[in-house]
Amino acid sequence: MYSYVTKKVDSEQGFATLTLNRPDRLNSLNHDLLRSFAEELDVVATDDSIRAVIITGAGRAFCSGVDTDELHGGTGEGPHKAGEIGTENLRRGFKLAHEVILGIYKMEKPVIAAINGLAVGAGFDIACACDIRIASNSARFMAAYVHVGLFPGYGGTWFYPRIFGHSKAAELMYSGNFMEVEEAKSLGFLNNVVVDSELITTAEKMAQRVAAGPPIAIRLAKTMMRRGMSMDLETSLEMAAAAESITLSSEDHIEGMDALRQRRRPEFKGN
């Protein structure tokens, strides 16, 4: 059976790699790929042996967005094709899209995007949902919806202003221009840019570093950072005190302090 999203788990280092696997279609999101993606995200999110996740694309693209063959005029059938299904069913058809975006954004474990080539439309939004973004020097980004008369339906209107600021977000959405990798790096969107041949190795090194950290503290840090986007400072400080109380009473904290005093690397167990 063909796998639209392949999963590779490095049990020794504690991370998993999910690869969008429709290289002949530049990893565009058809219904089957979205369903597989949502399922695999759920699997890695609930596997405690996995402490970090890499998302990348097979071939020469990260993800070119929604499969146009499942939009108006195409021969495929999918949840975003109007026809006779009506507006309400179109709205409900975003269920899988929401599962993917929220599955990445709300996952307690850090998610690293290893962006090879095009990240366009929904593919751009998937990259935005990740915590850390490493790109090859061939990467290009576009909020492409405007070119086909569409609203950014995969979270772009929420992500872009928060990541780029209002003015750049407006430019991306209204013009549909490409953002080249150098500009994406200068705007702080990318953590690192490397040559194509070093992309996966660089992402894996980052995943190894994250996976070697204290899982409880990292999960809480990601959760608080995400939730903090909608909190005032006082509420955030109160929640931080509660989170820190959990880590202060953890075995990982004891191990970390012992390792510091003994001048050795800590071995965090997630307890």
Confidence of residue 82 (pLDDT cuts 50, 70, 90): confident
Q: Is 115 helix (H, G, I), strand (E, B) or coil?
A: strand
pLDDT of residue 80: 79
221/202 same-domain check: no
196/257 same-domain check: no
CA atoms within a 13 Å half-sphere pointing along the CA-CB vector of 174: 7
pLDDT of residue 141: 98
pLDDT in tens, 167-207: 999 999 999 999 999 999 999 999 999 999 999 999 999 99
pLDDT of residue 244: 94
pLDDT of residue 10: 96
pLDDT in tens, 5-30: 999 999 999 999 999 999 999 999 99
End-to-end alpha-carbon separation of the chain, Å? 38
* C-alpha torsion sign, points 112, 114, 119, 123: negative
Q: Evaluate whether residue 269 is within a structural domain.
A: no
39/123 same-domain check: yes
Q: Evaluate whether residue 270 is within a structural domain.
A: no
150/73 same-domain check: yes
Residue 8: what are its φ and ψ, rounded to 5°?
A: -125, 125
What amino acid is encoded at 170 in this protein? A
Q: Is 136 helix (H, G, I), strand (E, B) or coil?
A: strand
183: tokens are 């500009």
- Is the pLDDT reported for residue 71 higher than 90? no
The CATH number covering residue 241 comes to 1.10.12
Q: Evaluate whether residue 222 is within a structural domain.
A: yes
Quick one: the chain helix, strand, coil %, rounded to 5? 50, 15, 35
User: Which residue, 211, 229, 247, sits at the end of a domain?
Assistant: 211
250/200 same-domain check: no
Distance CA 38, CA 45 (A): 11
143/130 same-domain check: yes
262: tokens are 């003994």
94/200 same-domain check: yes
Strands, E assignment, the chain? 5-10, 15-20, 52-57, 61-63, 111-115, 118-120, 132-136, 140-142, 179-180, 192-194
- The residue to which tokens 């990260």 are assigned: 62
- Is the pLDDT reported for residue 84 higher than 70? no
Which residue would you say has higher pLDDT here, 91 or 42?
42
pLDDT in tens, 106-153: 999 999 999 999 999 999 999 999 999 999 999 999 999 999 999 999
Can you give the pTM of this predicted structure?
0.94
Domain count, the chain: 2
Residue 27 lies in domain:
5-211
> Other CB atoms closer than 10 Å to residue 28's CB: what's the count?
23
Q: Evaluate whether residue 268 is within a structural domain.
A: no
pLDDT in tens, 194-243: 999 999 999 999 999 999 999 999 999 999 999 888 899 999 999 999 99
Report the Cα 101 to chain-centroid distance in Å.
Answer: 7
pLDDT in tens, 38-58: 999 999 999 999 999 999 999
The CATH number covering residue 200 comes to 3.90.226.10
> Average pLDDT, stretch 26-37?
96
User: Which residue, 176, 194, 211, sits at the end of a domain?
Assistant: 211
How much of the chain, in percent, has pLDDT values that exceed 70? 99
Closest CA to 109 of 155, 55, 65: 55
Contacting residues for 32 by C-beta, under 8 A, at least 6 apart: 4
77/90 same-domain check: yes
Q: Evaluate whether residue 54 is within a structural domain.
A: yes
